[in-house]
Structure 1
Amino acid sequence: MKAGFLAAWPLVLGYFPVAVAFGLLDREADSSPWEIQMVPLLVFAGAGQFALVGLVAQGTPPLLAAGLGLLLNLRHAFYGPALRPYLRGGPLEAFLLTDEVFALALKTLPHLPEEERRAHFLGLGLGAHLSWNLGTLLGSLGAEGLKGLSQAFGFALPALFFLLALPHLRNRVALLAGGVALVLHLLGQTALGLVLAGALGLLGRRP
């Protein structure tokens, strides 16, 4: 678990500035620091968190906002089957699973002894979770001085995911799935493209 926690440093670099931005956004929505901190503690889904706060700030009923956030994160349903050859996880592993944790775990878990994989994954996820919550806390407490940092490093998270995904581009099915997603995105059908790409990606996973 310690090795996994230490291996999470690229995620920490990508998550922290984005989490600060999230904390600042919640402050602008007139939420209390306690309410802000509960979101990453209980949800821990970057895009879903931003959407949830925006919807609630616009007066959307909380249950409807939560349902829309759930739909936004349905892509995670494809992550579990892809990791299953290397990890027999439970609710905690599912909670800690994000896009970047998935990409890093898919890169490292196949090369670890089976008995070490769960602890390594938990270390990765806990490192990511801790950095996200710490960044949110600083932003929610009014760390305005960090606002420029979060804007300057706004590219960090997509760049990190791209770098983690590069090794998988040797897989022809992964390339096909990415191409389908890109074409449908350009045609204005992003959601459909993600679903189809996820389904194709499962066909290309190697045990």
Structure 2
Amino acid sequence: MTSIGISRLHFPVTTLGPGRRIGIWFQGCSIRCKGCISLDTWASGRKMTTLRSVTGLLERWLPETDGFTISGGEPFDQPFALAALLREIRSKSDADVLVYSGHSFEALTSHLAEMDRLIDALITDPFEIDDDRDVALRGSGNQRLHCLTPLGVERFAQFERTVASDDKAFDLMMDDSGTIWLAGIPGRNDFKRLREFLESQHHTIVTTEDRLSETR
């Protein structure tokens, strides 16, 4: 039985690719880019589950989804689990698959050969906190979009452009503990402005970054 570390699943995600998408965040990241907004997904060995459990949860959303976005964490830190998940997705859905990785495309060639036609579009390279943030679907301008299949070209070639006003949005998620998650590509200082606004309204905000710094 395939084990897989998953931080969270969510549907619909509308800010990380076209249409209403199933978002899958892997748990565990060896790259750990400075300024990452998902520090809670860095630790490996946590939130382990089985591929069967994950695919069982996804099935309820399959009739309504336009695509899948897989991020993290770092999906390619679990290459065998990632490949198994992608095969399951392909067997159950014709929707497109977008994967984010902090590795370079060149470093992933052997893995991609084993996942041939399982990924339609791939965004690669580490997040650079000081780089421009004006390219669609990417956190920093150094990151590259690779359309790997005809479906990937059809669905994602449109995102080889600068950020538009419609791109500046977040999906809001809440888990059973009441923790709120934001999915999307933040602009520079977006979270700082959000914190300042909430505090001006007499709300207290504690981020996953705050919690991690308390335990270091």
Superposition TM-score tier, normalisation by shorter sequence: under 0.3
More helix by share: 1
**TM, length-normalised to structure 2:** 0.27
More strand by share: 2
